[in-house]
Structure 1
Amino acid sequence: MQTRPSRREALLEAAARIVRRDGYEALSLDAVAAEAGLSKGGLLYHFPSKEALVAALVEQLVESFETAHADAAAAGPPGPGAWSRAYVRATLDRPGEEDAVSVAILAAVAMNPALLQPLRQRYSAWNEALRRDGLPGVDAWVVRLAVDGLWLSDLLGFEPPTGKIRSRVVARLLELAGGQP
């Protein structure tokens, strides 16, 4: 039996749907309440401002990625490049259309770049893990930056590779990360 999302989760999902479907300009507390089928008072109980709502979207994005990374790391072989391989998998194996919270980055940048601070802090920790990943030279950096670029290309619709070429790109990134495709 599938459980219903909490009201807070329903509001975050509604906000992500609005930004993805209608753009950041359409994101308002009234629109989110209507999209979620809740009163504005119910929304204000969870998110007293639009900034608080967007900050929660960014935090949800960070938590979701870290869970996916931990799962990918646990499923993969240990050794040099394990962190980078998990980064590839956690970022690129997630269905883009289903990961609606990723629009939080766009909303945060449009609203207030300071709202990205939790993501900046996590990137600092991720880069520390990257430095300890055991790959030669700058390979781990190349993998991380290429994966970030591919993710943004997907998110923004900037002609991301599809089909066989995408599979080949991902396989090459995994090879650079010291693993088998």
Structure 2
Amino acid sequence: MAELASNTISPARERILEAAERVVGDVGAARMTLDGVAQAAGVSKGGLLYHFPSKESLLGALAKRYVESMTDCVEQAKSGTGETDGRDLKACIVGILAQQPRAKIAGMGAALFAAAANDLTLLEVIRERIAQYTRQIESSDVDFARAAVVSLAIDGLMMRESLRISCFTEEQRERVVQQLLQIADEAYR
């Protein structure tokens, strides 16, 4: 029972993380303060410090939440594709590049990249997830090079959108996504 309790996220912790996402989105990670996050979350600074003893621990939790959010998007897309061939690769395309999570993922991505400029350890959780994904595609029956190209294209598009430097119209972006889905299909032939 104690193990179950340790795996659940308290409502206060969740509120703090949501508030931190908003604050980072508004002022950036470098200018985020614990006082500002506590106020935005409606908790005392002591309450915030109970869950996150430092700004670094809060930013680390945000990085972990970012990876979990992307993983959840992929898992939801995977269950919705109904396909077997190319399912994992297509789920990455649909799950990460879909309209719904796009704004949240892009906003958090920009904030984390900015924070990582001062603290590269924040990228460790992202690096671990990328390494895990690379091992998955390497051990599957997909053409590794094609799958890697799709993965890099997803990363590139996300990076452009996170940094707000993408010049694609919605129609152009959709054509890119459709091309990535086609490449994913071809990777399993």
- Give the aligned partner of residue 173 of structure 1: 180
Which amino acid in 2 is paired with 1:177?
A
Partners of 2:57 and 2:178 in 1: CA distance:
39
1:21-100 counterparts in 2 under 5 A?
21-76=26-81, 77-79=83-85, 81-93=86-98, 94-99=100-105, 100=107
Change (3 A) 1:26 1:158: same
- Equivalent residue for 1:17? 22
Alpha carbons 2:96, 2:102 under 8 Å: kept: no
Structure 1 or 2: more helix by fraction:
2
C-alpha displacement of 1:171: 0.2
Inter-partner Cα distance in structure 2 for 1:118 and 1:46: 19
* CA positional deviation for 1:24: 2.1
In structure 1, C-alpha distance between the alignment counterparts of 2:139 and 2:169, rounded to whole Å: 32
Identity between Structure 1 and Structure 2 (%): 37
Residues 28, 107 of structure 1: CA spacing in aligned structure 2 closer, same or farther, 3 A cutoff? farther
Q: Conserved in 1, the CA contact under 8 Å of 2:78 and 2:88?
A: yes
Structure 1 unmatched runs, 5+: none
Listed one character per residue, the Cα deviations across residues 105-150 of structure 1 (whole Å, up to 9, x for unaligned) are: 2254133111221221111110111223433361111100001110
d(CA) in 2 for partners of 1:170, 1:102: 19
For 1:129 and 1:171, the matched residues in 2 are separated by 23
The aligned length equals 174
Residues 81-107 of structure 1 deviation map (CA, whole Å, 9 limit, x = unaligned) = 222111111110143333454345225
How many angstroms apart in 2 are the aligned matches of 1:53 and 1:151? 23
